[in-house]
Structure formats: C-alpha cells, structure tokens
C-alpha cells in the first residue's frame, strides 16, 4: 500500500491528515506500507512526527515501512532530531 503526502504538511494539517491516512491504512491488506513524500514542499517537524507514527503503526501490524521521495530538507531535519535512520531504511 502507498500513502501519498500533500505538498504542505505543517502542524495545522498534521492531526487531520494522520487520522485520514490511518483510516486508509487500516482499511488495506498487504504486508508493506510505503509513504510517498515526493510532493512535499512546505513542512515542519510535524511531518516527522506523522511519518514516525505511521512507521509505528505499520510495525505494530507486522508490516514493513518505507518512505520514498523524502525531500532533502526533511532528511536534514530528521538527522537533526536523530531519527533519520528510521525514515531512510526500510523496516
């Protein structure tokens, strides 16, 4: 299953988006969850929190998790917070 993130993901959108993506994820069968972050242009640390929650949800359900198209700025933010490895490696 692939979930696609929008161009803008800040604190204003994060809670509603996480709810919507969580519902989509829960309704799907399969063994993996891939998040497509390639459209993201405007974001803050809420984007990291959302990605980490989706990762937790996937792993709790025994699914693999990966992110594709992670913007460079978001990779740098993840490295700053010490969570880059959780988002760049498939699990």
CATH number, residue 57: 3.30.750.24
C-alpha distances in angstroms, 77 versus 33, 37, 54, 67, 85?
22, 14, 17, 15, 12
Instruction: State residue 56's pLDDT score.
Output: 94
Domain count for the chain, please give it: 1
DSSP 34: E
pLDDT of residue 89: 58
**Between 1 and 41, residue with greater pLDDT:** 41
Confidence at residue 48, expressed as pLDDT on a 0 to 100 scale: 95
- Helical H segments across 1-91, by residue range: 11-26, 45-60, 72-81, 84-88
Q: What is the pLDDT of residues 16-70, one digit of tens each?
A: 999 999 888 888 888 999 999 999 999 999 999 999 999 999 999 999 999 999 9
Q: Which domain covers residue 37, as residue numbers?
A: 2-88
- Can you give the pTM of this predicted structure? 0.90
């Amino acid at each position: 299953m692939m979930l696609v993130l929008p161009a803008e993901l800040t604190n204003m959108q994060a809670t509603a988006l996480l709810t919507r993506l969580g519902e989509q994820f829960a309704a799907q069968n399969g063994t993996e969850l891939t998040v497509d972050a390639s459209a993201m242009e405007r974001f803050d640390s809420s984007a990291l929190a959302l990605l980490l929650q989706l990762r937790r949800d996937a792993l709790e359900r025994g699914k693999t998790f990966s992110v594709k198209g992670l913007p460079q700025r978001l990779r740098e933010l993840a490295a700053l917070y010490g969570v880059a490895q959780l988002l760049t490696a498939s699990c």
